[in-house]
Structure 1
Amino acid sequence: MAHLATPKPKAKSFRDEIAAALEREIVSGLHTPGSRLVERDLTIRFGVSSIPVREALQDLEGRGLVSRRVNCGYSVIDLSLEELHSICQLRRILEPEVVRWTALRLSDEGASLLREQHDRFASAAASNNLPDFFHEDLQFHRLIWELSGNRYAARALQAAVGSLFACGMNQARERGVIRFETEIRKHDKLLRQILRRDGEAAAATLLAIADHFQNSLPRP
C-alpha cells in the first residue's frame, strides 16, 4: 500500500500554545474532572485577549478534554464510570483498526516522528514523572492516529480517548495501577510492530493495551 504524506507541523499561535498548556495540565491531573476553567482568569494568566482563550477552549472541547454548559462556561470533562466504560468499548473497536492502517501506510518520515515521540514517552516513564508520562502517552497515540491517513477516525479517537486521559487516567492514578516498566514494554512492542509494518500484530497489541486500561477502571 502506498505511503501517505506525513502531516507537517504548523507554527504555533497563541491559541495553540494555550490549548497545549491546558491539555498538559488536564491530562496530568492539575485540573481535576469537573473543575472549572474560567475564561477571564485564563486571559489574565496568559496575557492575551479573550479570543485565543475561547478558541483554545473550543479546541480542547473537540479533543474531549473539556465540556461547556450554557451560562456556566467550560469545565474539565467529568464522566461517570458507565460513560468511561462505554468509551473504552468504542476504543476497542476503532483504535486497533487505526493502528493497523498506520502500520501499513507508514512513511520513513512518520517512522522517525514515532521514534522521537516514543523516546519522550519512555523518558517520562523511566523517570517516574507521572504528569509527563500521561501527556507523552497521549501524544504518542495521537501521532499514530494522525499517521493513519483517516482524519475522520483520528477525530473520533481524539474526542473519545481524550476523555479517557482526562478522567480515566485520574481513576488509574488514584488506584495506583500505573506500572511504568510494564507500560514501556507494551509501547516498545507496539512501536516495533508498527515500524516493521506488521499491522495485524500492532492491532493485537493495541487491543491488549486498551483492555488492560479498561480492566484497571472500577466496575460501574
Structure 2
Amino acid sequence: MTSDKRRLQPRRQPRQVRSELTRRRILTAAAQVFAEHGYAAGTTNRIAERARISVGSLYQYYPNKDAILLELLTRHLDAGLVAIGERQRSELPGPLEEILRLFVRAAIENHLDDPQLLRVMMEQGPRSDELLAKVARSMGMFVSYIQDLLDGHPEVRVTDTHTAARLVVSTVELVVHQLIAAPDPIDVTRLENELVAMLTSYLTSARAPVT
C-alpha cells in the first residue's frame, strides 16, 4: 500500500512561481493528451511534448501518468467542493424547482469543460485511499446540504429526507456524468430541464409512508 501511495504522489511540490507554472503546463498538456488519445495512448512522452518540456523534466514533478491523472481527478473533485461551498454561502431562490435547477446546472457546467477527459478520469483513473476519502467527503457534504434544504422547504413531501437527498445527489452526479461524457452528444438545455422536472416531481409528490 505504501509503495502504491508513493507511486501516485507528485515528486515535487512547487515552491517557486516558475515551478508552479511548469506543473500547470504539465497538467494542461496531460488533460489535452488524455482527451485526444485516451489513457492507454496518453504517454508521458506525448504529455511532455505537448507541454514543451523534456520527459526528464516531467518526471521531476510526477513519477508517471497515473499520478498526473490522479491530480486532474482530485482537482475536478475540489472544484465540485468549491461549488458546494459557494451555494451554501449564497441566497437560494424560494421555489424548489429553481433550487434544484441551480444544482443541476452547476453539475452540468462542472462536466462540460472536456467530457472526453472526464470519461477517462472517471473510468480509467487510478484509485487511492486519499482519493476515495475525498469522494466520500464530497458526497457526504452534498447529501447533508441537500437534506437540510429538503427538511426546511414547504414544497417537499417526501418523509425520509436523508434517503431523498442521497437519491438526488447520486442521480444528478451519475446521470450528468454519463450523458455528458457519452459518445453521442446530448442537448444540455434539455438535459437540465428534464432532470429538474424529474427531481421536482419526485420530491413534491405525496406518497403513503412505508410500513
TM-score tier, shorter chain, comes to: 0.3 to 0.5
Answer with 1 or 2: which has the greater Rg: 2
> Normalized against structure 2, the TM-score is what?
0.32
